[in-house]
């Protein structure tokens, strides 16, 4: 199953009041594991950068002035996400901005039924406590030391790790891996499950004598002689 973990950075909190996207970061997951495939772009918002937003992500108007407009990257963005579910922390915030940008370029909005909101999942699993991304990283022992500022791609990468723990996929994969290893018929150093009491040999002395008599009829020096007790 293919999923896309997504995060954005913006100029503010409300796309209906003129705030715009300035960064999109996406991480591809297949069967709940990151594949290493990502999508990342900075965007020119065609407006100023409020100081409050700059303090969050550190993206200045000067830095973004030569970056592409959303209209010029929309095809690549939509091609990357395809029809996959979108895993987003506080999903309605990000999808509100993305759909506002899609509307500006006359493209269809992304429906809500494609969204997996990790904030909702976290509140159900950890009620009554803070469930910000930093809190979840700390709770699941995920290293977020690089997150000195918000960044869409870095936050998507961290969220992918959080998501695996949040839904218990990491534990399930570990159990499956251990189970496969226990019953594996692989290299000699692969651990195997052993019987506490070995089974008794099923080949009788009579069977051995009969086989030796048969080998004697073959003449010459049959290869079997290398495995007989006499040799």
**Model confidence pLDDT, tens digit, residues 54-100:** 999 999 999 999 999 999 999 999 999 999 999 999 999 999 999 99
In angstroms, the first-to-last Cα distance of the chain is 58
126 is in an annotated binding site: no
Catalytically active residues are 150
Arithmetic mean of pLDDT over the chain? 86
Q: Is 7 annotated as a binding residue?
A: yes
Mean pLDDT of 151-170: 94
Do the Cβ atoms of 190 and 184 come closer than 8 Å?
yes
- The phi, psi pair for 128, rounded to 5°, reads 80, 5
Query: Is 57 labelled a binding residue?
Result: yes
Architecture of domain 2-167: 2-Layer Sandwich (3.30)
Q: Would you say 75 is a known binding-site residue?
A: no
- Pick from 134-143, 182-191, 207-216: least confident: 182-191
pTM here? 0.74
- Collapsing DSSP states into helix, strand and coil, what is residue 221? coil
Do the annotations mark residue 48 as ligand-binding? no
Domain ranges in the chain are: 2-167
The answer to whether the Cα torsion of 21, 59, 65, 13 is positive or negative is positive
Phi, psi dihedral angles at 9 (to 5 degrees): -125, 150
Q: What is the pLDDT of residue 207?
A: 76
């Amino acid at each position: 199953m293919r999923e896309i973990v997504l995060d954005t950075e913006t100029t503010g909190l409300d796309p209906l009041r003129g705030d715009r996207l300035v960064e999109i970061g996406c991480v591809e997951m297949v069967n709940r594991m990151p594949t290493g495939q990502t999508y990342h772009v900075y965007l020119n918002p065609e407006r100023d950068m409020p100081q409050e937003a700059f303090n969050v992500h550190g993206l200045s108007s000067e830095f973004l002035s030569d970056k592409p407009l959303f209209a010029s990257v929309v095809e690549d963005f939509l091609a990357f996400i395809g029809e996959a579910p979108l895993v987003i922390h506080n999903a309605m915030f990000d999808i509100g901005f993305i759909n506002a940008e899609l509307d500006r370029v006359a493209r269809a909005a992304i429906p809500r039924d494609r969204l997996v909101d990790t904030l909702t999942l976290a509140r159900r699993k950890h009620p009554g406590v803070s469930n910000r991304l930093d809190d979840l990283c700390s709770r699941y022992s995920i290293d977020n030391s690089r997150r000195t500022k918000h960044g869409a791609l870095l936050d998507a990468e961290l969220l992918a790790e959080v998501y695996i723990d949040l839904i218990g996929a990491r534990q399930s994969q570990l159990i499956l891996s251990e189970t496969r290893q226990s019953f594996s018929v692989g290299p000699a150093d692969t651990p195997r499950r052993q019987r506490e009491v070995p089974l008794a040999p099923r080949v009788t002395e009579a069977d051995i004598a009969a086989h030796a008599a048969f080998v004697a009829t073959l003449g010459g020096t049959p290869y079997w002689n290398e495995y007989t007790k006499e040799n």
